Amino acid sequence: SQQGEEDPQALSIQEGENATMNCSYKTSINNLQWYRQNSGRGLVHLILIRSNEREKHSGRLRVTLDTSKKSSSLLITASRAADTASYFCATDDNYGQNFVFGPGTRLSVLP
């Protein structure tokens, strides 16, 4: 059963702008993670936020988590053409198992 749902499905911005992607989920979670996938490649882990955390930063990435709304957002600041990729959120259950990925947001950063 699909749990994470990203929004928007696709996003196109100019280099230097910020990109915001959202993720919603349905049931209680242990952690929420964001991954990046370049076309035709495996996924790369970006950042993990635990269910008892509200915000986390890593370089140009900022992730927020609102467990009352069952939603998370990923902000990429000062985007670059190299940020062009698909971004997925993933949740695991309270046992740290059974990961569920959303359908992803396709980000295009135009030079």
Partner 1 sequence: DGGITQSPKYLFRKEGQNVTLSCEQNLNHDAMYWYRQDPGQGLRLIYYSQIVNDFQKGDIAEGYSVSREKKESFPLTVTSAQKNPTAFYLCASSLGGAGRANEQFFGPGTRLTVL
Residue ranges in contact with partner 1 by CB under 8 A: 1-2, 4, 30-31, 33, 35, 40-45, 48, 50, 88, 90, 92, 95-104, 106
CB of 111 to partner 1, least distance (A): 24
Distance CA 7, CA 62 (A): 16
- Is the peptide bond prior to 8 cis by the omega test (within 30 degrees of 0)? yes
CB of 16 to partner 1, least distance (A): 27
CB of 59 to partner 1, least distance (A): 16
Nearer to partner 1, 2 or 27 (CB): 2
CB of 77 to partner 1, least distance (A): 22
Nearer to partner 1, 45 or 80 (CB): 45
Helix (H) or strand (E) holding 106: strand 105-110
Are 102 and 7 in contact, with CB atoms under 8 Å apart?
A: no
What are the residues whose beta carbons fall under 8 Å from the beta carbon of 68, sequence distance 6 or more? none
Distance CA 79, CA 110 (A): 9
Nearer to partner 1, 14 or 98 (CB): 98
